[in-house]
Structure 1
Amino acid sequence: MSNVDLLLPLLIAVPILTATLPIALGLWFDRTGWSVTAVTTTGLFAAAVALANAVYTDGVITHELGGYPQTYGIQLVADQFSAMIALLVTAVAAGVLAYTRRGGPRGNTFYTAYLLLTSGLLGITLTGDVFNLFVFLEITSIATYALVASGDGPESAVAALKYLILGTVAASMYLIGVAFVFMATGTLNMVELAAAIPAAERPTLIRAGFAFIVVGFATKVAQWPLHTWQPSAYHRAPDGVTPLIAALVSTASAYAFGRVIVTVFEVEYLAAMPNAAAVVLTVGCVSVLAGTVLAVIQTEVKRMLAYSSVSQFGLIIAAYGVVIAGSSETAFIGAAIHLVGHGLLKAGLFLGVALVARSYGARTVDEYAGLAKARPIVAGSMAVLLLVLVGIPPGVGFVGKWYIALGAVQSQLWPVAAVIFLSTMLTLAYTARLLEKMYFTPPAALDWPRTTEPVATDGGDATAVSAGMVAIVVVAALGAVALGFAGGTIAEMLEPFLMEVFN
């Protein structure tokens, strides 16, 4: 175990280095990108499992790059919270490849951006200072812009441009906030900031810095009304791209926001900061309601699920508000479980949507009529994922919501509990509409014929859908249910981290 800390820089550096191989090898060979990416992400997942095992067995693992002290060096940290997100990132990055191998995109440049995105997400997860968090947020954003723009047609380019503009504004807001905090404390390391912020001589700078950071992350996490980039990006990105960015990009940003709250500013300090809890709670609760209402009125399935993400991330931000207002460990556990669960759910759902579009030619809710008869395995897996998204026990969606609602009740924040209940009813409304089309509306009810022949999309071929493409959706559905039984285990795994940040 003496060298296990070397896994931290390797998890970030290896995908950056291997990102050059698809383009380099592409000078001599066609379509080498998938093989390179498959080997890399499989290795990253194995490394993340080894790292998580070490963290949950021996405690926090740190690595000082170059051996420099953390005051002015770069520190990487793996604890019980970050190890969980690293597992999610590497598992989804490896799993989505089961679709892209045949479904596309298939160009070597696509896989270069894919690996850069994976590296940026792992950097966000493992960094120990707030400036390098900005660096990795930017690496992630640049790779995502490229992946969204890789779709066919001008709509993908417009969606990428919208994301670029709002993403740049968000990064600028975050960096301004970091600059204010640095001016007040003289350090960028998260651990040192936690000690320096309460003793800062200029608390106004700290408050201004936190305000800018909140705005930056509200945009990155797609909170209403700064959410407009997300539905366009999810909808217009290639079908092989949407599962990756929907499952991980905003998830990593939401994780980073939680990390800044509990590790950098700390709950006790923010609880004493005027209006900090109220602002975070309001942003989260409004996004929960706005996202579900907008999802209900959508006709395109990808856009419906995109607005659903606005709502689900709003729930996580609201949980952070409960953590600040009530110093609630229970709400934080709920946020962590919901982060991981939502990432798995959206990966599975968007992979299912991609598979349906490819094999059944359906993209709108009405076009899903008769899907259960034509594609029973895919429809059944999507039905399970949709029910878990609503919060039906024993799925992971129920466990996350339960912990967040319980934390809100324990903190006597009754409006938050009411928002969770109302959003669950609205989520049931749009998921039931899709389930009704799949299972109870015959294809003959449509005015145009339904095709069951494979449809070539996103640069993929139109040969038969592979078993791997179907299997990964089934695995996601089974995983979403299995995680629901693991809520107590996850809480126990987080306990050392919770004891550190709440005591």
Structure 2
Amino acid sequence: MSSVELLPALLIAVPILMATVPIVLGLRFDRTGWSVTAITTAGMFAATAYLAADVYATGPVVHVLGGWGEPQGIGIELVADEFSALIALLVAATAAGLLAYTRVGGPRGNTFYAGYLLLTGGLLGLTMTGDVFNMFVFLEIVGLGTYAMISSGDGPESAVAALKYLILGTVGASLYLIGVGFLFMATGALNMVVLGDLVPELMAAEGEPTLLRAAFAFMFVGFALKVAQWPLHTWQPDAYQHAPDGVTPLIAALVSTVSAYALGRVMFTVFGPEFLTATPYLTEIVVTVGAVSVVAGSTLAVIQLDVKRMLAYSSVSQFGLIVAAYGLVTEVALLGAIVHLIGHGMMKAGLFVAAGIVALGYGARTVDQYAGLAGERPVTAAGMAVLLIALVGIPPSIGFIGKWYIAVGAVQAESWLVAGVIFLSTMLTLAYAARLLEKMYFTPASTLESPHAPDAVATDGGDGDADETPAVAGDGGRLADADRRGSPGAVSFGMLAVLVTVAVTAVVLGFAGGAFGDLLKPFVSEVFN
């Protein structure tokens, strides 16, 4: 077995095992968690980049744990292919990059970083598993890790949001597991590739594959809850809003993103396009669920006052677009769904980092409190503006590339509903993005509503007086009072560097539409051929 074949297993096992190290070291040393996590995630990013390069150069990398069970389709298999390698790279890069925020902004403590590593390992496992039952195992690991991350915030709101996520997440995972049970009853296999071969055979043999249809129904509803599709989305706005500011970028960029990836993997690798198109009303239901989520999420985002809650409803809408693209069952639409999945995860990580910077350094959490931000905090405002424009889908940006592919796929499939929803969602996204842009760039700051008014401290190019600013409580980025201003050290260079890097990357990737097509063509072609 080559060293590359071991990488999928190591990328999952190492962060999960290293999650115990901060706790053990914490018995003797304080605050060693960040250093352990930084070293671990940096190594994971390097290894994931090496694995991805090998996948795109030579093809998928498969690791069968213990070398057992492959012929029967019930062994534990890890797979890094053109699809999973991109998602794994997003997970590793985000986990490593966000540490620049938590280093200063918190949360702090060894137990927090233990949960951070556990969540990262679970996300990588969910990304690279080739087994539908072990996908459930990693869903549970991710769920527990996310629960711990959300509940690490101060105040009862974080505890309530975490409990809501735990309950609804458990329901979603349980529905998925019931679907796995039906699938195993029908096929006797758990391996995704084996299932992908057996499902068409069973459809041809049975004519009315009731168990297969029941399996898909349970698995789809379970994932719809995990991906926060309307009306099963209620956990997400509370979780995003009340989680610590250092946690929200991680869960917003990765948790639902990887769940949406898992839904696509199950739909196209396990069940396959033939099953999706042959089952009466299935594609119409999937498209409708996604389209309704797009409209509902965008509409709810427009009316929000809290910035983090507005971005949370935006995620409901953007994931709805991805689900609708899955339901089109065309090569171009699937390509667009994958590109938009990656782009949205990256953009939301940057936007929530920006929201955390503004809240931590300047005490602004609502749209009105962003008034005049561009004049006093030009770097933060510029980074946020670029990402908001990319989220709308204005070229050149990664947001435009994903929507363009989905729109072309909708036209090819003659799904005018999806084409219309893309246009409507773009207008609604522009509406709530424009609210923030107007406040930041065209509304004068007022000391009554904007904590970062001209007398506040400047940390990224403004003209404030640092000596007049009170210190910020080290409570994970949450200010005890919305009118308190940040301290000179509240916002670090590393935080701004992460924001600027993400914003620049979102624009650079806007020119990479052809490159994405070349990278993903082997996977997409295999699915439809």
| Length-normalised TM-score, structure 2 | 0.93
Hey, what's the Cα distance between the residues in 1 that align with 2:436 and 2:448? 15
1:296 aligns with 2:302: yes
Which residue pairs with 2:255 in the alignment? 249
Which residue pairs with 2:146 in the alignment? 144
Hey, what's the Cα distance between the residues in 2 that align with 1:28 and 1:374? 43
1:309 aligns with 2:341: no
1:192 aligns with 2:194: yes
1:377 aligns with 2:379: yes
Q: Alpha-carbon deviation of 1:67?
A: 1.1
Q: Is the 8 A contact 1:357 1:455 kept in 2?
A: no
Q: Is the 8 A contact 1:360 1:455 kept in 2?
A: no
Q: Alpha-carbon deviation of 1:455?
A: 3.2
Which residue pairs with 1:279 in the alignment? 285
1:364 aligns with 2:370: no
Hey, what's the Cα distance between the residues in 2 that align with 1:245 and 1:459? 15
Written as runs of structure 1 = structure 2, the 5 A alignment for 1:394-409 is 394-409=396-411
Hey, what's the Cα distance between the residues in 2 that align with 1:361 and 1:455? 9
Which residue pairs with 2:96 in the alignment? 94
Hey, what's the Cα distance between the residues in 2 that align with 1:392 and 1:372? 21
- Equivalenced residue count is 499
Name the SS for the 1:173 alignment partner: helix
Hey, what's the Cα distance between the residues in 1 that align with 2:53 and 2:90? 14
Q: Alpha-carbon deviation of 1:457?
A: 4.8
Q: Is the 8 A contact 1:231 1:306 kept in 2?
A: yes
* Equivalent residue letter for 2:115: A
Q: Alpha-carbon deviation of 1:483?
A: 1.1
Hey, what's the Cα distance between the residues in 1 that align with 2:490 and 2:161? 30
Which residue pairs with 2:432 in the alignment? 430
Hey, what's the Cα distance between the residues in 1 that align with 2:232 and 2:50? 38
Hey, what's the Cα distance between the residues in 2 that align with 1:313 and 1:181? 26
Which residue pairs with 2:346 in the alignment? 344
Q: Alpha-carbon deviation of 1:73?
A: 1.5
Deviations 1:44-72 (A, max 9, x none): 00010000011000001100101113222
Hey, what's the Cα distance between the residues in 2 that align with 1:481 and 1:128? 33
Written as runs of structure 1 = structure 2, the 5 A alignment for 1:111-122 is 111-122=113-124
1:466 aligns with 2:466: no
Q: Alpha-carbon deviation of 1:456?
A: 3.3
Hey, what's the Cα distance between the residues in 1 that align with 2:491 and 2:434? 27
Q: Is the 8 A contact 1:358 1:457 kept in 2?
A: no
Name the SS for the 1:266 alignment partner: helix
**What fraction of aligned residue pairs are identical, expressed as a percent?**
69
1:456 aligns with 2:458: no
Hey, what's the Cα distance between the residues in 2 that align with 1:471 and 1:429? 28
Name the SS for the 2:200 alignment partner: coil
1:222 aligns with 2:228: yes
Name the SS for the 2:229 alignment partner: coil
* Aligned-CA RMSD value: 1.3
Which residue pairs with 2:4 in the alignment? 4
1:501 aligns with 2:503: no
Q: Is the 8 A contact 2:246 2:476 kept in 1?
A: no
1:103 aligns with 2:129: no
Hey, what's the Cα distance between the residues in 2 that align with 1:447 and 1:83? 45
Which residue pairs with 2:43 in the alignment? 43
Deviations 1:275-296 (A, max 9, x none): 1101100100000000000000
Written as runs of structure 1 = structure 2, the 5 A alignment for 1:169-184 is 169-184=171-186
Q: Is the 8 A contact 2:472 2:490 kept in 1?
A: no
Deviations 1:60-109 (A, max 9, x none): 11001011132221100010000000000000000100000010001110
Which of 315, 320, 323 is 2:326 aligned to?
320
| Length-normalised TM-score, structure 1 | 0.97
Q: Alpha-carbon deviation of 1:482?
A: 1.0
Q: Is the 8 A contact 2:19 2:113 kept in 1?
A: yes
Which residue pairs with 2:60 in the alignment? 60
* Equivalent residue letter for 2:297: G
Q: Is the 8 A contact 2:97 2:498 kept in 1?
A: yes
1:337 to 1:448, Cα distance in 2 relative to 1, 3 A: closer
Which residue pairs with 1:235 in the alignment? 241
Hey, what's the Cα distance between the residues in 2 that align with 1:216 and 1:84? 24
* Equivalent residue letter for 1:403: Y
Hey, what's the Cα distance between the residues in 1 that align with 2:232 and 2:131? 26
* Equivalent residue letter for 2:392: V
Q: Is the 8 A contact 2:325 2:336 kept in 1?
A: yes
Q: Is the 8 A contact 1:8 1:77 kept in 2?
A: yes
1:172 to 1:302, Cα distance in 2 relative to 1, 3 A: same
* Equivalent residue letter for 1:285: A
Q: Is the 8 A contact 1:361 1:455 kept in 2?
A: no
Name the SS for the 1:444 alignment partner: coil
Comparing 292-301 with 465-474, which one deviates more in the overlay?
A: 465-474
> Structure 1: 5+ residue runs without aligned partners?
none
Name the SS for the 2:78 alignment partner: strand
* Equivalent residue letter for 1:255: Y
